[in-house]
């Protein structure tokens, strides 16, 4: 199991709080699992601890309380964040229109050793990895531990671009949690992309670690770094790969998206509309990891193929990893629902003539009439199975698949291939059947 070494750092965190808040906090059961302290002017202070939110007394936060905390910190940066020197704690400010601090989010930072062991094989592969997940789910913690593994265990030259001093802590001396990795600080968040390029040009890294890629300039800098053969480990704004594809600012990280207009004959041959979405270029990152929870990950091991399939409305190959309480890791692999091509453009070759074969399909949340009509137009010999056990394959709408109902579990236990379709529309059903012909 991952181990935290935060007890000494937590004392430093608690020490910056006003005495009455500090005293009230220490009376809370389980305060050693503290996540955040929220101080908003004119409101009672609250803490977030063990998934619960608890008020600390009934006395509201005064300007003196806010001032007490800020005087124990360094200067707030352009991103309104500050820290406590040589710790991983982060204090973020809320300001009024005059620029005065009227609220603080005091977040506890912990070095949790072992948290990246669940993806150690991916880290050691040398491939570039992009980590996604909601705020507070542990992206930065994994990033920090990854930097330590790469620098100390694998003896690689690692440079961290630490825009908010969140990975390696506040102050000029980096926190020991990053191992022997080097840290480059950033004067202002808008300069992050310049520092990313500077790191490559000046310090000869084998690996660059970046927290929070969030702008077009940073996405372009990441592509430049990857094209120079440097391994990238980064986080980005977004919960899932699908979110990233739909984000016009950041979708270049996974190859970018372009609309292509097909000729009449080509559109007819493909069985699609004349305007289709395609991936524009090879992805900057080879692997995407979605952090669902601290010990629950969803991994896309082949980003190029995953993006191509998602653009066609089909679920891609992925792997789920779950760390249990005893530290063991359970892996569940989901094979590609439609076999991708090896080339970068999934649509670049014509659909081969279908072989005379009977496809017995069980539809789950997918229109039987659409399947039969489209199959007939494409020249496929299709029969609708009355029961799952009689089917060669299952066409399941995405929401049915995600609910993991009895039909889905039965299909998996029987070893029947599952083809997941995002929505019950003729276009997506057609794409799935075309992919079936290609495979």
pLDDT tens profile 96-146: 999 999 999 999 988 888 999 999 999 999 999 999 999 888 899 999 999
Question: Measuring CA to CA, which residue among 341, 333, 393, 330 is closest to residue 366?
Answer: 393
Region 45-73: mean pLDDT is 91
416 is written with which tokens?
A: 């029947």
DSSP conformation letters of 241-303: HHHHHH-TTTGGGGT-EEEEEPPHHHHHHHTS-SEEEEE-S--S-SEEEEEEETTEEEEES-H
Least reliable range by pLDDT among 2-6, 97-101, 152-156: 2-6
Yes or no: say if 225 and 196 are a contact pair by the CB < 8 Å rule.
yes
The mean predicted confidence, pLDDT, of the chain is 87
Yes or no: say if 112 and 3 are a contact pair by the CB < 8 Å rule.
yes
Query: Is the pLDDT score of 218 beyond 70?
Result: yes
Report which of residues 269 and 359 the model is more confident about: 359
- Percent of residues, the chain, with pLDDT higher than 70: 91
Helices 368-377 and 426-438, axial angle in degrees (round to 10): 50
**For residue 272, what pLDDT is reported?**
65
Continuous segment of H or E residues that includes residue 4: strand 3-4
Least reliable range by pLDDT among 119-123, 342-346, 376-380, 400-404: 342-346
pTM of the predicted protein model? 0.72
**For residue 355, what pLDDT is reported?**
47
**For residue 4, what pLDDT is reported?**
55
The stretches of 278-379 forming alpha helices (DSSP H) are 303-311, 368-377
| Residue 329 pLDDT level (bands cut at 50, 70, 90) | very high
| Residue 5 pLDDT level (bands cut at 50, 70, 90) | low
| Residue 377 pLDDT level (bands cut at 50, 70, 90) | confident
| Residue 6 pLDDT level (bands cut at 50, 70, 90) | low
Say which CATH class 3-107 falls into: alpha beta
Query: Is the pLDDT score of 374 beyond 90?
Result: no
SS3 category, 183 = strand
**For residue 284, what pLDDT is reported?**
96
Report which of residues 348 and 1 the model is more confident about: 1
Query: Is the pLDDT score of 312 beyond 90?
Result: no
**For residue 267, what pLDDT is reported?**
67
**Maximum average pLDDT range among 112-116, 236-240, 298-302, 371-375:** 298-302
Burial of 41 (0-12, 13-18, 19+ CB in 10 A): middle
Query: Is the pLDDT score of 207 beyond 90?
Result: yes
Query: Is the pLDDT score of 278 beyond 70?
Result: yes
How many CB atoms lie under 10 A from the CB of residue 232? 22
Query: Per CATH, which fold does 358-438 belong to?
Result: Rossmann fold (3.40.50)
Report which of residues 428 and 62 the model is more confident about: 62
CA distance linking residue 355 with residue 361, whole number of Å: 17
How many CB atoms lie under 10 A from the CB of residue 407? 18
Continuous segment of H or E residues that includes residue 203: helix 192-203
CA distance linking residue 307 with residue 245, whole number of Å: 8
282 is written with which tokens?
A: 């090879």
Residue ranges, CATH 3.40.50.2300, the chain: 358-438
Is the CATH code 3.20.20.100 the one for domain 112-334?
A: no
Residue ranges, CATH 3.30.450.90, the chain: 3-107
């Amino acid at each position: 199991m991952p181990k935290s070494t935060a007890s000494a750092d937590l004392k430093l965190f608690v020490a910056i709080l006003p005495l009455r808040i500090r005293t009230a906090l220490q009376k809370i059961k389980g305060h050693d699992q503290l996540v955040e302290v929220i101080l908003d002017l004119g409101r009672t202070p609250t803490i977030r601890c063990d998934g619960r939110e608890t008020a600390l007394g009934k006395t509201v936060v005064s300007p003196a309380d806010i001032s007490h905390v800020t005087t124990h910190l360094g200067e707030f940066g352009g991103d309104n964040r500050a820290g406590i020197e040589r710790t991983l704690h982060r204090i973020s400010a809320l300001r009024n229109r005059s620029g005065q601090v009227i609220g603080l989010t005091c977040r506890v930072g912990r070095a949790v050793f072992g948290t990246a062991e669940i993806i150690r094989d991916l880290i050691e592969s040398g491939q570039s990895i992009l980590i996604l997940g909601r705020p507070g789910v542990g992206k930065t913690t994994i990033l920090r531990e990854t930097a330590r593994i790469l620098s100390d265990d694998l003896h690689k030259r690692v440079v961290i671009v630490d825009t908010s001093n969140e990975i390696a802590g506040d102050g000029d001396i980096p926190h020991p949690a990053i191992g022997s990795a080097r840290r480059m600080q950033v004067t202002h968040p808008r300069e992050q992309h310049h520092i990313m390029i500077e790191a490559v040009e000046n310090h000869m890294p084998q690996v660059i670690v970046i927290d929070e890629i969030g702008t077009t300039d940073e996405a372009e800098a990441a592509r430049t770094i990857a094209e120079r053969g440097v391994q990238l480990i980064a986080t980005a704004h977004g919960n899932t790969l699908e979110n990233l594809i739909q984000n016009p600012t950041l979708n270049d990280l996974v190859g970018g998206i372009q609309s292509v207009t097909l000729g009449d004959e080509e559109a007819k041959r493909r069985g699609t509309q004349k305007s289709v979405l395609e991936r524009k270029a090879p992805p900057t990152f080879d692997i995407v990891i979605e952090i669902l929870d601290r010990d629950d990950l969803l991994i896309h091991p082949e980003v190029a193929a995953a993006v191509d399939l998602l653009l066609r409305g089909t679920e891609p190959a992925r792997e789920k990893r779950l760390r249990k309480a005893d530290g063991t890791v359970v892996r569940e692999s989901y094979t590609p629902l439609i076999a991708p091509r090896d080339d970068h453009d999934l649509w670049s070759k014509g659909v081969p003539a279908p072989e005379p074969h009977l496809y017995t399909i069980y539809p789950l949340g997918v229109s039987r009439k659409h399947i039969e009509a489209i199959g007939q137009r494409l020249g496929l010999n299709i029969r609708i199975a009355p029961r799952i056990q009689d089917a060669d394959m299952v066409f399941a709408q995405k929401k049915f698949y995600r609910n993991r109902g009895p039909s889905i579990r039965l299909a998996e236990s029987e070893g029947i291939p599952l083809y997941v379709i995002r929505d019950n529309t003729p276009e997506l059903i057609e794409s799935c059947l075309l992919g079936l012909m290609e495979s």
